[in-house]
Structure 1
Amino acid sequence: MAKHTEVKTNVMRILEQAKVAYTPHEYPHGKEAVDGVTVAGLLGQDVNTVFKTLVARGKGGAIHVFVIPVAAELDLKKAARAVGEKAVEMVHVKELLGLTGYVRGGCSPVGMKKAYGTVFHETAAHIPTIMVSAGKVGYQVETRPADLIALTGAAIADITA
């Protein structure tokens, strides 16, 4: 009989080291990442409580991280204002692994290669728990938004269209 081993991602280890309580969730997946709305459905979660992590580059070259509900769309003008940039543009998916250490569909605001300025959408402050990627496709962590915001040193702003 095969022994089932629970997957422990780097994100989970960081949360444990920081004494942040979380609940791990796993969803079925293939080789390709699925969109966040599909992930929410696979996990039986409200799309307003499952957040995606987006990475953008400002005009000056600085990298910024935006964490928004999976069904929402990032408003680049609002995002730029939130981080004090004239403009931001999404980084190309090919750059994601080198910049963050994560692949598309597994990008988490926790445990990136460098600590980038991070902004959570304002709705995160009004819900008891949110889910973000656990740093690997097929895995999510659910935790209190205040704990994630504190751990990542994030700001809160209206950054969606």
Structure 2
Amino acid sequence: MSDPVIGMSRLRWLGKGPVEASPAAVKAEIAKLEFLRGMDAYALDLSVLPAERRRFLAMVGRRLTAQALQRREPERRYPILLTLVAQSATEVLDEIVQLFDQALSARGEQGGASDAGRAGRARQVRRGPAGAAGRDLGHRRRSGGAGRGRRRADPR
């Protein structure tokens, strides 16, 4: 029951999560989401089952191989598949959002640190050493803390 396009069974493919926050990982998760949306997995209403039962059936579906699931009797196989597909639809969407957020954060840290460093050095050059010290005291006064409202002495 291996899919030639992805090189494994769809059951195993759905259970395989991303390893890192990369564009390839986001693309792979979006492919899963498109597959699940093509099946209308997001529209499955399993609210008649208790949440704990849904989690249990989805966990069983993730642990079983495609062959082991195929050997199960239909009364057990289909509820497992339905809950696995429905839960995978929400989990894959959450993973995509998380991966995208991690990728943006990593990109912001790389670009943001160098921009902030350049901006800080430019301010220091414009103001000189005394201007930088005065700016630090002003920041301490505005930030509040234990001595709120009183001017604290510079510990330097």
TM-score interval, smaller chain: under 0.3
Higher relative contact order (CA 8 A, sep 6+): 1
TM-score, structure 1 as length reference = 0.23
TM-score, structure 2 as length reference = 0.24
Higher gyration radius (CA): 2
Quick check: which one's helix share is greater?
2
